[in-house]
Structure 1
Amino acid sequence: MTRLTILMTSAAFALSGCLLALPPKGVSAEQIAAYDEAVASIGCDMIGESDYLPVELQTGLTREQVIQVTEYKLAREEAVTLPEGGVRLTTGVCAV
């Protein structure tokens, strides 16, 4: 019984990790690619309003969608949080 519980718990954690890495609902692969390009165009860091607004304008995404894509990138380890706050994209042109 204990072995089954451990196995089921492990499976649940694995599934939850997969679910976190799903693209945001209503955001296409093309929009995610546009997000990557837009974030790269502002220097790869998204810290404040002056960073989010150009990404929204370039991608056509809402603020909520930009935040969701950012969370998606963090979950996929394609971005990292910055010590001063904000996020840095770490893929494509922004790869270190």
Structure 2
Amino acid sequence: MTAPESLKFGRLKFAVVIVVVLVVVVVVVVVVVVVVVVVVVVVVVVAAAAPAVVVLVVVTSVEVVVVIEEIVVVLVVAVSVDIVIVALEIVAV
């Protein structure tokens, strides 16, 4: 393989890694949105059923969403760092 072909192949591998990163980010965002929607629906249903429990449910729901978002952020950062390391290794080869 000549130098230009090798360079083109390296760029192709890097492009594939970038696409994988974008797909992972989109999946994570979709999961977070689905979780938030589920929490909101649960809050609305409970609020309609028993208004006295609303405050407790809202506080708990907010805490759950915050914890889930923190976990997602940690996972996204960890996966992104791993992907960048792999991308650098692929490009270096």
- Taking structure 1 as the reference length, the TM-score comes to 0.35
Relative to its length, the structure with more helix (as a share) is 2
- Taking structure 2 as the reference length, the TM-score comes to 0.36
Q: Which has the higher contact order (CA 8 A, sep 6+)?
A: 2
Larger radius of gyration: 2
